[in-house]
Amino acid sequence: MFLGNSDLNPIDVHKRCIGKTQFDFLQLICKFWITENFDFTFTLTKLYKCDARKVTLRNEVISFNDLSVFTETAEDITFDRVTVKHSDGSIVSFENVFKAFINAKKFEFNSDSTLPNITSKTFNELVKTPHFSKLQSMILYNIPEVFDIENFYVYMKKNNTTKFWIEFVKSVSALYKNRLEKIIDEILSTKVFNYKPPFFDIHGLDEEKKNRLFDL
C-alpha cells in the first residue's frame, strides 16, 4: 500500500484517510510504503519502505538498524523524546544519529530530560560530518553543559549557513551560564553580522535579552 501525506489526526492517531476512505492502520495486515511525510511511530513494524523527506518520531525507543529506513531520503527530521539504541542496548550517540541522515537540511532533537547521548566530544564530531555544514537549521532542547560551548563559539563566528536554536538545561552551573551570557552579550552588541547569530535559551536569562536574541 502506498501512502502520501500522513499528518496526525489528534483524535485517532492510528486512523488515516486516503481520498475519502478511512483506514485503521492497527487493523491492517499488509505492509506499506510512505511516500511523503512520516509522523506516526506505531507503523514501524508494518513499514515496507519510507521515501519521506519529512520524518517525525515521537515517544519512541528505536534500534539504530531500524532507523536506516528513514536515513536516505529524510531532509527535515524531528526527534521528540526518542531514544536510539544499538543491538546491545547501549544508547547511540547524538552525533552518530545525525551522521546517519546524509541528506539532513533541518534537524530537531527534543528530550524531556538531559540528552543522554550528548558528550563533550559531540560538537567536534558533528563538525567532522560533511553534511553538518550544509544544514539550514538545528534545534536542540535540554542540552547539558558538557556541550563544548567554546568550540561551538569558534564555529558560530564562521557559520553563514545554519540557524542554531539551543536550549540548555536549567541545571547548568553558574560558570557555564556566565560564559553563555558573555557570548550572548557579544552577539547583541554586534552591529553587522558576518555569521548567522544563534538563539540561546538559558534559565534566568533577562527577558529583554532573550527577545532581542530571538528577533535576530
- pTM beyond cutoff 0.95: no
Percentage, residues of the chain above pLDDT 90 = 40
Question: In this predicted structure, what is the pLDDT of residue 156?
Answer: 94
Which residue type sits at 107? F
Domain boundaries, the chain: 53-215
The Cα–Cα gap between 89 and 74 comes to: 25
> C-alpha cell of 72?
536516505
Residues in the chain, overall count: 216
DSSP per residue, 85-143: E-TTSPBPPHHHHHHH-TT-SEEEEE-SS--TT--TTHHHHHHTSGGGGG-SEEEEEEE
- The backbone torsions φ and ψ at residue 100, rounded to the nearest 5 degrees and listed phi first, read -65, -25
The Cα–Cα gap between 187 and 200 comes to: 11
Q: Indicate the pLDDT class of residue 10, thresholds 50, 70 and 90.
A: very low
When computed from its CA atoms, the radius of gyration of the chain, rounded to whole angstroms, is: 19
Structure confidence by residue, pLDDT tens digits, 171-211: 889 999 999 999 999 999 999 999 999 999 988 888 888 88
Question: In this predicted structure, what is the pLDDT of residue 138?
Answer: 96
Structure confidence by residue, pLDDT tens digits, 28-81: 555 564 555 555 554 555 565 667 788 888 877 888 888 887 788 889 998 888
pLDDT above 80: residue 19 = no
The Cα–Cα gap between 97 and 85 comes to: 10
pLDDT above 50: residue 141 = yes
